[in-house]
Amino acid sequence: MKLQEADAKSLLVAQGLPVPEWAVAHTVAEARAAAERYLAAGNDKVVIKAQVLVGGRGKAGGVQLAGSGDEAEQVASAILGMDIKGMTVRKVLVGPAADIVAEFYLAAVLDRAERGILLMGSAEGGVEIETVAETNPEAIIRVHADPNLGLLDFQARELAFAMGLRAHLKDALRIAKGLVTTMRAYDADLVEINPLAIVREAGPDGTPVERLVCLDAKITLDDSALARHPGLEDLRDPDEEAPEDKAAREAGLTFIKLDGTIGCMVNGAGLAMTTMDLVKRAGGEPANFLDIGGGARADKVAAAMALILSDPKVNAILVNIFGGITRGDEVAQGLIEARAQQTRDVPMVVRIVGTNGAEAAVLLEEAHFETAASLDEAAEKAVAASRAAGAAA
Amino acid sequence: MSILIGRDTRLVVQGITGREGTFHAMASQAYGTNVVAGVTPGKGGRTALDGTVPVFDTVAEAVRQTGANTSLIFVPAPGAPDAVMEAAAAGIATIFCITEGIPALDMIPAVEMVRAKGARLIGPNCPGATSPGRAKVGIIPAAIHREGRVGVVSRSGTLTYEAVQAMSDAGLGQSTCVGIGGDPIIGTTFLDVLQLFAADEETDAIVLIGEIGGAAEETAAAWATEHLADIPKVAFIAGRTAPEGKRMGHAGAIISGGAGTAASKVSALEAAGFRVAGSPTELPALLRDAGYRG
């Protein structure tokens, strides 16, 4: 689960990390009020940032500065409602615009190859780390946290020195260790600060001071661990979850909507991907990725069918089940029941093999389902059915 | 000889009294695997599988009493990492963890402990392994196998069944089929399994079934270029049509920042001499094309 910047920042603050203040605004009036508050407090400008869970906000015009209440109102009304990579902006973050002296990159990620937590730091902040990895790989400093103890002080120091943060060593140490603490506290698989920045601020006596702060934050939570962090479920953004995604999550199905016309119902993630690939190879377009999981029975099959049919573009359905833990006859029974309740008639091609596949075949035959023996044949038949339906429509 | 499991496997099933544990322990036993013990804390002293297998409270006790050397774990996700560490601490050499949905960070200390104890972990979130005609440890349906000399390694469950079925239907039997699991943090990688197959006298060809996400296929391919040049090998990669940034069911199956794409894996494997199939059903014919005569 991806978190919005504002929520990610809240988690960082809860772990004691330095983050400049901010406010979240859902309306132009709220944005203006927040901007005026910061401007009245002595800030020259405020920054207004779209809160959407996609990258590239800045390039899309979703991050802008404002120097007055009027300007903040203009900017907020331009950003709110803006479409960024298919997501509509429904809220903005408003904060004092930072006087940036230098930008860095710092992130804690799950490293699959080393089976541990990897800290990645770079003095090239503000740009995407993938870009740095391509153009200047030596600029990325990598440190692996201890599997049991986390990031040790000396490791954090090594990282800070290598990033050129000698003048801010204490804060750099606190932030680097804090990223790992945050990761472990919330079961995140990514905690990214880009940019981590040295900013110039007015000190207590009015003279400028420099300090190291987290200017932006990106956190992705491990879905497998959400059950033990009940509070974090509240951070799921209802604006960013489509109704079908919510229905799938609640039914225990893994579902990803795509653009095509052939609805797919499969058991197992690898086989579900393969089924999509073969639909495409046969000349069709999959409408979704849908894994009903291991051991699915009639109720899950019915939920999956309803989910597939809720997409008006679907004009053919491909069911591909290779029973291991899943018992084929239970899926077949589920399909028969689901079809009886089906609100619109969509051609369906069913392939069920593996555990109790013979029993499934009998049930499907009696109920006059169109069946296929091999995966390739099933994909071809589904594509043909979709074409025929498309031509008839 | 096969790899990981064989006739000398002495299996302890952790979580043997649960629904899945009982069902699959029974299937493993029916296949001929030597199931010597079960472990369910608090149920020690009972028996499982119709009185044929003693149940112990701890893995250590099971090892002492029965000489178990391999473990199969069906413990639910919250307790599974601990079950892995218990097995490693008890001196189990090969640990299969079937459990899915384990928080990734929980696996880091578990994998570290397995490494420190010199044990091997396969999984989690994996279907286990079968050495046809010798032993089956896990949930792969027995009926799809055929004895032979092709080694099969895969990240996925049901997709493995698909590929193995295709192989068996074409008369190509297997030495060992192993599913390494779809999670981001797993104990045994493609590379580890390729190394085991390379050293196995009874494996003459290799089938690798990967999917989008991570770089484990590329790493394995790089090693294969040098060390598996003379062995017929084929591969299949799932997720060619998967959109970037979406997790395709498996926690590990995600293309992010342009890395982990099917195209990258296919080209790395082809460069290493793998013939890459467009469908799992094409694997047997491609293996024949690659010169396999088994």
Those residues whose C-beta lies under 8 Å from the C-beta of residue A282, and which sit 6 or more positions away, are A376, A379, A380, A382, A383
- Nearest Cα residue to A110 out of A225, A5, A195, A29: A225
Q: Is residue B5 part of a domain?
A: no
Residues of chain B contacting residue A108, judged by C-beta atoms under 8 Å apart = none
What ranges do the domains of chain A cover? 1-20+99-240, 21-97, 242-392
Average per-residue pLDDT for chain B? 94
Identify whether B133 is part of a domain.
no
A325 has pLDDT over 80? no
pLDDT of A19 strictly over 70: yes
Supply the pLDDT for residue A243: 85
What's the rounded mean pLDDT across residues A348-370?
A: 93
A336: pLDDT strictly greater than 70: yes
**Helices vs strands, H then E, count in chain B:** 9, 14
Measured between beta carbons, which residues in chain B are less than 8 angstroms from residue A276? 239, 241-242
User: With contact defined as beta carbons under 8 Å apart, do B92 and B63 qualify?
Assistant: yes
Mean pLDDT of A135-152: 92
- Closest-approach residue (CA) in chain B for A268: B158
Determine the Cα–Cα distance for residues B166 and B160; give it in Å rounded to an integer. Answer: 10
Number of Cβ pairs < 8 A linking chain A and chain B: 168
Using the beta-carbon criterion (under 8 Å), do B251 and A291 form an inter-chain contact?
no
Q: Do residue B62 and residue B182 come from a single domain?
A: no
pLDDT number for residue B258:
66
Q: Which is more confident, B253 or A236?
A: A236
The domain made up of A242-392 is a member of CATH 3.40.50.261:
yes
Closest among A388, A389, A340, A391 to A368, alpha carbons compared: A340
Whether the predicted pLDDT of A53 surpasses 70: yes
CATH number at residue B74: 3.40.50.720
Q: Give the pLDDT band (50/70/90) at residue B256.
A: low
* For residue A128, pLDDT beyond 90: no
What dotted CATH number matches A21-97? 3.30.1490.20
User: Does B92 share its domain with B155?
Assistant: no
Report the range of poorest mean pLDDT among A64-78, A118-132, B125-139: A118-132
Domain A1-20+99-240 has CATH 3.30.470.20: yes
Say which amino acid occupies A392.
A
The reply to whether A37 touches chain B by the CB within 8 Å rule is no
B243, A222: Cβ pair inside 8 Å?
no
Q: What is the pLDDT of residue B251?
A: 65
Report pLDDT digits (tens) over B16-49.
999 889 999 999 999 999 999 999 999 999 999 9
Instruction: Identify the helix (H) or strand (E) that includes residue A106.
Output: strand A100-111
Q: Hey, what are B48's tokens?
A: 């499982």
Bridge partners, B47 (sequence order) = B54
- Tell me what the mean pLDDT of segment A34-60 comes to: 92
Q: Which residues of A touch B250 (CB under 8 A)?
A: 269-270
Q: Do B112 and B250 sit in the same domain of this protein?
A: no
Within this chain, domains A1-20+99-240 and A242-392 share the same CATH topology: no
Both tokens assigned to A268? 């197992």
Question: Across all residues in chain A, what is the average pLDDT?
Answer: 93
Burial class (CB in 10 A: 0-12, 13-18, 19+), B222: middle
Q: Is the pLDDT of residue A105 over 90?
A: yes
For the residues A263-272, what does the mean pLDDT come to?
Answer: 95
φ, ψ of residue A70 in degrees (nearest 5): -60, -45
CB interface of A with B, residues 353-372, below 8 Å: 353-355
Q: What is the CATH number of the domain that holds B254?
A: 3.40.50.261
Q: What is the pLDDT of residue A391?
A: 85
Alpha-carbon gap: B283 to the closest alpha carbon of chain A (Å): 13
**What is the domain count for chain B?**
2
Lookup: tokens for A41? 């407090």
Q: Which of A232-246, A292-306, B128-142 has the highest mean pLDDT?
A: B128-142
User: Which residues in chain B are contacts of A129 at CB distance < 8 A?
Assistant: 257
Task: pLDDT band for B260, please (50, 70, 90 cuts).
Answer: confident
Nearest to B153 by CA among B117, B123, B177, B122: B177
B41/B118 same-domain check = yes
Chain A, 237 to 256: residues with Cβ < 8 Å from chain B are 254, 256
- The residue-averaged pLDDT of A52-66 equals 90
| ipTM of this complex | 0.91
> Residue B1 above 70 pLDDT?
no
Which one-letter amino acid corresponds to residue A331? V
The whole-number average pLDDT for the span A183-201 is 96
Report whether pLDDT(B146) > 80.
yes
Q: Residue type at A364?
A: L
Task: Let me know: does A47 contact A64? Beta carbons within 8 Å.
Answer: yes
Last residue of a domain, one of B72, B88, B122: B122
The domain boundary, picked from B92, B122, B152, lies at: B122
Q: Which two tokens stand for residue B261?
A: 């794409």
User: Range of B271's domain?
Assistant: 140-289
From the candidates A71, A124, A192, A330, which is the catalytic residue? A192
